[in-house]
Amino acid sequence: MTGILALPAIVKTLLVATLLMRFALPTSASDEGLACAEEVLNLGFYPYFEPVSYSAAADPDSAEFNLHRGYEADLLTALEAMDGAGLTFNRQAIADWDGIWLRSASPEFDIIGGGITILDSRRRDRAGAEAITFTSGHIAFRQSLLVRAEDARRLKTHADLTSADRVGVLAGTTGEARLLQLIGLVDDEGVLADGVHAVVADGVVIADGSADFFITAADATDALAERQVLYLPGTGPQVIYLGSRIGDAELLDALANSDIEAIASGEIGNRDAARDSDGDFAVTALDEKPEYGGFTLDIDDAERAACLDALLNWLTDSRRISYGEWLEDRAIFFKRAKEWNERREQE
């Protein structure tokens, strides 16, 4: 069996649409097509993407490290509460972001979450083989810049960044990958432009425009793995690598101290940081290209992925309910589950 995303687009559309018709209007508790296979799924989640997906305690040695919190946690808990859905999640936090989406192809996990943007490059392992499939997406992301409030007028778009500006990023994220595209340091495939300089631990690496030098949200050339600064002499901003995947405190401190002029990251995290800054920071340069976050499963789990899609689409009202609606009403997914259950009781 191949993964659902490996199927032709029209086949996948028809498969998910068929399941959605079954799930959108429950008919009978005995309908065999109504529920997924009843099972407990081992879920690995990224614990440092507050408020989308995080742990009750940040310390991996804490007893509460595996307690899932946030938007995705509530979405999955509501799914568990849906009568007849048949799924329960055994949740385990995974502190290491690198290639986390591929962990669903391992025997240890059935499904992986944590605010993972759906990208073609993330479907393949380092050998280039297609290893995982994504659900169709339940949350929308847009990339943005977080700047000091006094710079908001000057840095309205990514095109306003100059060679005098320094932009902080976290390596291996969509924030980094999209920034590099928008400022012209890489092409759509992540290949570095000819002449791009990368400061690394033992010197400077200079890209020659070939595919030997690349950076994507899924991987990077080994020589660039420990990149510290990225720039093209004479044009555009310097990209500064600060912070770690267990938090962006170092980036926020650098912005507050004027060590960098902007942070390139997703709109959700940047808006939270702006709100917490008491007016010191502002969000600008909202990307026109939307991205979607989903869960990953093994490439051979097409049927399970389609079932999850149907349930998640019902809970999110086909993406009409997303992060913004959840932020306004943290019980919104539980209300949807309750509505599901009440409709089943009325059969």
**pLDDT given at position 347:** 72
Which residue type sits at 308? L
Q: For position 104, what pLDDT does the model report?
A: 98
pLDDT tier, 3 (very low <50, low <70, confident <90, very high otherwise): very low
- Check whether 247 has a pLDDT greater than 80: no
Per-residue pLDDT at 244: 65
296 contacts: CB under 8 Å, gap ≥ 6:
101, 102, 103, 104, 111, 112, 113, 116, 122, 132, 133, 134, 135
Domains identified in the chain and CATH numbers: 4-140+291-345 (3.40.190.10), 143-284 (3.40.190.10)
DSSP state letters, 179-194: HHHHTTSB-TT-BBPT
Which of 7-11, 59-63, 97-101, 225-229 is least confident? 7-11
- φ, ψ (nearest 5 deg) of residue 172: 80, 20
- pLDDT at residue 38, rounded to an integer: 87
pLDDT at 245: 58
pLDDT of residue 211: 96
- Tell me the pTM: 0.82
- 197-229 confidence digits (pLDDT tens): 999 999 999 999 999 999 999 999 999 999 999
DSSP string, 41-93: EEEEE-SEETTTEEESSS-TTSTTTT-EESHHHHHHHHHHTSTT--EEEEEEE
Whether 338 has a pLDDT exceeding 70, the answer reads yes
Nearest to 76 by CA among 339, 333, 341, 338: 333
Low-confidence winner among 103-107, 158-162, 300-304 (lowest mean pLDDT): 300-304
Percentage of residues in the chain having pLDDT higher than 70: 88
- State pLDDT tens for residues 275-294: 999 999 999 999 998 899 99
pLDDT band at 11 (very low <50, low <70, confident <90, very high): very low
Average confidence score pLDDT of the chain: 89
pLDDT surpasses 90 at 327: yes
- Predicted confidence at residue 207, as pLDDT, reads 98
